[in-house]
């Protein structure tokens, strides 16, 4: 149920974001979604791609420091209060969200969110228990063009 | 000139090799130093380099009325040695030399140094003193894992050990597995090597499935490179030994200028043979006692190559408080840096080695780093650029920021300055062959 997320360390200066994206584009790897966390000085680029193993190898060979993290994709109703309801469940269960970002694709009336939990396994348990839909890697890939 | 004869350690003072010299009352030693300094000026006048300078400044033995008069004498630098390459600073005919050693040449052209037979005898005596101070007894066996060659470490310690009457295993440097084999077969009590090599021995033992703490070594005399108290603790713990520091440099004699006693509280300077000043490297005035300064050393008894006020570029502190061991000499701290890479940041002297120590404490390894100093307004600003590597990278921003803060805090603890820590991409800091360039000073500090 968990997704593999790649994280890259980037210096926060012009042109630094383009280089790794070109490197994986050259391998014909499509980015399903990404998020960028940054300070004035450096940034952390997080990527969800289908061929994460190839992408990781290519990036590491090109000299980037790449970290592999397990994240959880959850779909919520794409309407006011949809995300808040999901977050309420997580909060009630005492689950700490390290960070989250939205998936760039929508599926019908659902929006997909990527969550980084301290304890992804327990998070999945709680989410399933509360009838939320946890999107598996296969499922995610299936509706990506 | 009289040199006290060395004596075997007596049973009442087992940690003193030469009690008469090592516990000499300070006033008496100062008188001896003054007498030897005058003799040195006489002998140095046989070296054209010194003769010219003495003539220019109208200096002779008569100019030395007190030890403070040493400040009337000129300095000698590494470039003076290079200008008189290979043996232009000899004060004796070449045929009087018993041995020639050389510097490692890590900071430029290698420099050669000559010894007469008497110089070698004194050198062995000086090594014997710090070896015995660390606990060496005639019944002990010592494994010397220093290079035997032009480097002064191997032969210097070798003859010091023989002088004490202990057994030497001249294992020489390298082939760590064989070193461990020798240790396990011959059970030496003492190890002589560089501090980093002591850690290599521990690592290799573990690779061989041997607990390094079970090796027979009981203590080690380590030297030949700068090291830190943290490193000492690590070595002592990993090998279950006591580690002693000693100091010396080939230009002056080699190991034996100073060494630690059982108190592990600074190194006793062998003042009957060396006059050591601690000076501000900018003003060349003495620093207040106990403050760090450049060691400037005069070798009072050297026949072949007298060195007058040799600027070592090594930074250390010198202190006069009496030691619990009974030796009456002044002591020096470990070398905490070099003047050639010393930075003064907002009035604080900072050495790249201190930044390195801080990084080591936080990360457990030393990454590639660069210290950038600038002065955007009136105040100095320091940025320490640290290359990211897989062990310290996290996808979580809070962890990355905490890492920067931890490094910054540790730098403050070790070096006493506030520094901005900038994490940078791998391989973004320029690589150098040989010694790394660790400092980029963008301030314009010239007048």
- The alpha-carbon gap from A31 to the nearest alpha carbon of chain B, in Å, equals 18
Q: Do residues B357 and B341 touch, judged by C-beta distance below 8 A? A: no
Q: Do B395 and A44 touch (CB under 8 A)?
A: yes
Q: How many CB pairs (< 8 A) connect A and B?
A: 50
Task: Look up the ipTM and state it.
Answer: 0.86
- Spell out a b/e string for B375-412, using b for 16 or more CB atoms within 10 Å of the CB, else e: eeeeebbbbbbbbbeeebbbbbbeebeebbeebbebbe
- Based on the domain organization, do A75 and A138 belong to the same domain? yes
Look up the CATH architecture of domain B343-441: 2-Layer Sandwich (3.30)
How far is residue B157's CA from residue A25's CA, in Å, rounded to a whole number? Answer: 62
- Based on the domain organization, do A55 and A103 belong to the same domain? no
Residue-wise pLDDT for A1-51, tens only, equals: 899 999 999 999 888 899 999 999 999 998 888 999 989 899 999 999 989
Where residue A28 falls (left for φ over 0; alpha for ψ -120 to 50; beta otherwise) is: left
Q: What is the pLDDT of residue B444?
A: 65
How far is residue B250's CA from residue B266's CA, in Å, rounded to a whole number? Answer: 21
Candidates A5, A14, A42, partner chain B, best to mutate (most B CBs within 10 A): A42
- Based on the domain organization, do A7 and A59 belong to the same domain? yes
HSE of B37, CA atoms in CB hemisphere, 13 A:
27
- Based on the domain organization, do A44 and A99 belong to the same domain? no
Non-local CB neighbours of A5 within 8 Å, separated by 6+ positions: A46, A47, A48, A52, A68, A69, A70, A71, A114, A116, B395
How far is residue B204's CA from residue A115's CA, in Å, rounded to a whole number? Answer: 44
| Of A40, A69, A98, the domain-final residue | A69
Q: Which helix (H) or strand (E) holds B61?
A: none
| Of A53, A69, A85, the domain-final residue | A69
- Based on the domain organization, do A76 and A137 belong to the same domain? yes
Q: What is the pLDDT of residue B35?
A: 97
CA dihedral B95, B101, B105, B110 (to 10 degrees): 0
How far is residue A98's CA from residue A119's CA, in Å, rounded to a whole number? Answer: 10
SS3 state at B35: helix
Q: DSSP characters for B117-166?
A: HHHHHHHHHHHHHHHHHTT--TT-EEEE-SPPSSSHHHHHHHHHHHHHT-
- Based on the domain organization, do A119 and A136 belong to the same domain? yes
Considering only CB atoms, which chain A residues are within 8 Å of B400? Answer: 42, 44
CATH of B1-340, one of 3.40.50.300, 3.40.190.10, 3.40.50.12780, 2.40.40.20: 3.40.50.12780
- Based on the domain organization, do A22 and A32 belong to the same domain? yes
Q: What CATH number does residue A60 fall under? A: 3.30.2130.10
Q: Do B395 and A67 touch (CB under 8 A)?
A: yes
How far is residue B9's CA from residue A143's CA, in Å, rounded to a whole number? Answer: 87
What is the DSSP secondary structure assignment for residue B5, as one 8-state letter?
Answer: P
pLDDT < 70 stretches in chain B? 1-14, 104-110, 225-226, 347, 349, 364-366, 432-436, 444-447
- The alpha-carbon gap from B354 to the nearest alpha carbon of chain A, in Å, equals 24
What range does the domain containing A9 cover? 2-69
How far is residue B6's CA from residue B1's CA, in Å, rounded to a whole number? Answer: 15
Q: How remote is the C-alpha of B396 from its chain's centroid? A: 43
| Of A19, A38, A69, the domain-final residue | A69
Q: How many domains does chain A have?
A: 2
Q: Which residue of A has its CA nearest to B394?
A: A67
How far is residue B400's CA from residue B393's CA, in Å, rounded to a whole number? Answer: 7
- Based on the domain organization, do A58 and A112 belong to the same domain? no
- Based on the domain organization, do A87 and A134 belong to the same domain? yes
φ, ψ for residue B67, nearest 5 deg: -65, -30
Considering only CB atoms, which chain A residues are within 8 Å of B423? Answer: 9, 41-42
Provide the whole-model pTM: 0.64
- Based on the domain organization, do A51 and A109 belong to the same domain? no
Candidates A3, A4, A6, A9, partner chain B, best to mutate (most B CBs within 10 A): A9
Query: Hey, where are the domains in chain B?
Result: 1-340, 343-441
């Amino acid at each position: 149920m968990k997704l593999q997320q790649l994280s890259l360390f980037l210096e926060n200066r012009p042109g630094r974001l383009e280089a790794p994206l070109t490197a994986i584009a050259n391998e014909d790897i499509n980015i399903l979604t990404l998020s960028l966390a940054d300070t004035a000085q450096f940034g952390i680029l997080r990527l969800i791609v289908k061929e994460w193993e190839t992408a990781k190898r290519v990036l590491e060979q090109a000299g980037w420091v790449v970290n592999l993290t397990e994240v959880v994709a959850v779909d919520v109703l794409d309407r006011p209060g949809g995300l808040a309801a999901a977050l309420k469940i997580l909060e009630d269960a005492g689950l700490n969200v390290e960070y989250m970002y939205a998936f760039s694709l929508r599926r019908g009336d659902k929006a997909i969110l990527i969550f980084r939990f301290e304890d992804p396994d327990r998070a999945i348990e709680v989410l399933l228990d509360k009838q939320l839909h946890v999107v598996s890697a296969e499922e995610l890939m299936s509706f990506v063009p | 000139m009289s040199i006290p004869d060395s004596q075997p350690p007596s049973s009442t003072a087992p940690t003193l090799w030469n009690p008469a010299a090592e516990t000499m009352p300070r006033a008496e030693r100062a008188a001896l130093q003054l007498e030897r300094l005058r003799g040195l000026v006489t002998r140095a006048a046989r070296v054209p380099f010194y003769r010219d300078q003495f003539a220019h400044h109208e200096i002779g033995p008569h100019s030395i009325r007190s030890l403070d008069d040493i400040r009337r004498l000129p300095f000698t630098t590494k470039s003076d040695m290079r200008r008189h390459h290979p043996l232009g600073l000899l004060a004796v005919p070449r045929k009087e030399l018993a041995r020639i050693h050389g510097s490692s040449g890590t900071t430029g052209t290698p420099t050669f140094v000559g010894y007469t037979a008497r110089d070698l005898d004194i050198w062995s005596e000086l090594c014997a003193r710090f070896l015995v101070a660390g606990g060496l007894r005639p019944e002990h066996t010592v494994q010397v894992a220093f290079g035997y060659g032009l480097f002064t470490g191997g032969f210097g310690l070798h003859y010091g050990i023989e002088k004490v009457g202990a057994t030497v295993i001249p294992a020489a440097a390298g082939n760590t597995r064989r070193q461990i084999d020798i240790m396990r077969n011959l059970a030496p009590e003492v190890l002589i090597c560089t501090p980093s090599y002591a850690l290599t021995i521990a690592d290799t033992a573990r690779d061989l499935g041997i607990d390094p703490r079970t090796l027979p070594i009981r203590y080690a005399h380590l030297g030949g490179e700068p090291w830190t108290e943290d490193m000492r603790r690590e070595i002592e713990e990993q090998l279950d030994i006591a580690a002693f520091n000693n100091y010396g440099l080939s230009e002056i004699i080699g190991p034996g200028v100073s060494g630690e006693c059982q108190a592990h509280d600074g190194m006793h300077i062998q003042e009957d043979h060396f006059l050591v000043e601690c000076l501000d490297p900018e003003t060349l005035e003495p620093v207040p006692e106990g403050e760090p300064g450049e060691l400037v050393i005069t070798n009072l008894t050297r026949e072949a190559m007298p060195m007058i006020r040799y600027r070592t570029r090594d930074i250390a502190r010198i202190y006069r408080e009496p030691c619990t061991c009974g030796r009456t000499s002044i002591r020096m701290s470990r070398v905490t840096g070099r003047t050639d890479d010393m930075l003064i940041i907002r009035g604080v002297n900072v050495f790249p080695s201190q930044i390195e120590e801080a990084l080591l404490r936080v990360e457990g390894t030393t990454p590639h780093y660069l210290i950038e100093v600038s002065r955007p307004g009136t105040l100095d600003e320091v940025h320490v650029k640290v290359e990211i590597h897989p062990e310290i990278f996290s996808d979580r921003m809070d962890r990355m920021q905490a890492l920067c803060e931890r490094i910054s805090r540790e730098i403050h603890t070790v070096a006493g300055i506030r520094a901005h820590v900038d994490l940078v991409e791998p391989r973004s800091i320029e690589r150098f062959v040989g010694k790394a360039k660790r400092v980029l000073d963008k301030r314009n500090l010239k007048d």
